[in-house]
């Protein structure tokens, strides 16, 4: 399913190290761009438990999660759902594609 919105280029794929996350602020959206090898995911960069950057946390490519570095909550990079307490609310998930080496995100 395609989300209607504005597609913006956030970075180049080569700007992201494999198995890493990086924060980008784009058009009023704080994004965590996560790379698991060749797969890229984009979620909201604010932990839903407290206002901490998720991009600073550890990623688990086997589980498909990212952990908030402050309190240990984990979030699915595909659904945004909190998978571990203390967070109970999901974070936003953005449609993402890689086209000609550019990471593109659809903003609502």
Residue 85 located in a structural domain: yes
The model's pLDDT over 4-56, given as tens digits with 9 standing for 90+, comes to: 689 999 999 999 999 999 999 999 999 999 999 889 999 999 999 998 999 99
Residue 87 located in a structural domain: yes
Residue 12 located in a structural domain: yes
pLDDT band at 1 (very low <50, low <70, confident <90, very high): very low
CATH number at residue 86: 2.102.10.10
Report the sign of the C-alpha dihedral through residues 105, 13, 66, 29, in that order.
negative
Residue 19 located in a structural domain: yes
Q: How much is the pLDDT for 5?
A: 87
Mean pLDDT of 55-68: 95
Residue 22 located in a structural domain: yes
Q: How much is the pLDDT for 65?
A: 96
pLDDT at 3 over 80: no
Contacts 24+ apart (CB under 8 A), 66-74: 66/21, 66/32, 66/34, 71/47, 73/47, 73/48, 73/49
Q: How many domains does the chain have?
A: 1
Residue 80 located in a structural domain: yes
pLDDT at 59 over 90: yes
Residue 1 located in a structural domain: no
Residue 41 located in a structural domain: yes
The model's pLDDT over 70-97, given as tens digits with 9 standing for 90+, comes to: 999 999 999 999 999 999 999 999 999 9
The domain containing residue 12 runs over which residues? 6-107
């Amino acid at each position: 399913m395609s989300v209607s919105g504005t597609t913006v280029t956030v970075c180049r794929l080569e700007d992201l190290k494999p198995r890493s996350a990086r924060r980008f602020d784009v058009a009023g959206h704080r994004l965590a761009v996560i790379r698991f090898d060749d797969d890229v995911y984009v979620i909201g960069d604010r932990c839903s438990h407290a206002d901490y950057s998720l991009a600073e946390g550890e990623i688990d490519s086997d589980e498909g999660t990212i952990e908030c570095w402050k309190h240990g909550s984990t979030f699915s990079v595909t659904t945004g759902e909190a998978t571990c307490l203390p967070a109970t609310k999901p974070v936003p998930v953005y449609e993402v594609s890689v086209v000609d080496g550019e990471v593109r995100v659809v903003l609502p």
